[in-house]
A = this chain, B = another copy of it.
Amino acid sequence: MPEKDGRFEAIIEKIRAKNFKLTPQRMAIARVLSDGGRHPTVEEIHEELRDRFPTMSLATVYRNVLLMKSLGEVMEIGFADGSNRYDGMRPHPHPHAICIACREILDPELSGLEDMSEEVARETGFEIVSHRVDFFGICPKCRAKK
């Protein structure tokens, strides 16, 4: 169960601090979400936990993802086609590289986003509070398949 840094512990601690209860389902969902590098859908989380929680409802996954999102411990990566994905490893906005073939999502380290944000603020007069930066393309694996 490879969670990096203490993301799982951080999520659990936040839940405890806000006096929400620690159910086995909730903890299992937190563990999947804190599992590094993944960006699972709600369906995938549900599927992944089916073995251990055969009766767990899809609604429970939705509810807990929403809870952790509202606690600021999970970030939603929403798409217009409804294929929303979730990230409990890095709950703050960061750029993505998304393969349009296999839907894999990487988190590249990118410089210059701060500058760009300031440039937008200067030009528009907006007070920027967040951003969403996605680059779409073909990953090396899918390019090899062509």
Name A120's contact: one of B80, B81, B131, B135 (CB within 8 Å): B135
**A80, B83: Cα distance in complex, Å:** 9
A66 to chain B, nearest CB (A): 12
**A111, B135: Cα distance in complex, Å:** 16
Chain A interface residue number, banded:
35 or more
Whether A110 and B120, one on each chain, are in contact in the complex, defined by CB atoms closer than 8 angstroms, is yes
This chain: copies in complex: 2
Interface mask (A98-136 → B, CB under 8 Å = 1, otherwise 0): 011000001011111101110111011111111111111
Whether A112 and B116, one on each chain, are in contact in the complex, defined by CB atoms closer than 8 angstroms, is yes
Name A134's closest neighbour in chain B (CB-CB).
Answer: B132
Secondary structure type dominating chain A contacts: mixed
Whether B110 and A119, one on each chain, are in contact in the complex, defined by CB atoms closer than 8 angstroms, is yes
A144 to chain B, nearest CB (A): 10
**A133, B81: Cα distance in complex, Å:** 17
Q: Which residues of B contact A129 (CB under 8 A)?
A: 100, 136-138
Whether B121 and A137, one on each chain, are in contact in the complex, defined by CB atoms closer than 8 angstroms, is yes
- Taking beta carbons and an 8 Å cutoff, which residues of A are in contact with B? 76, 78-81, 84, 95, 97, 99-100, 106, 108-113, 115-117, 119-121, 123-140, 143
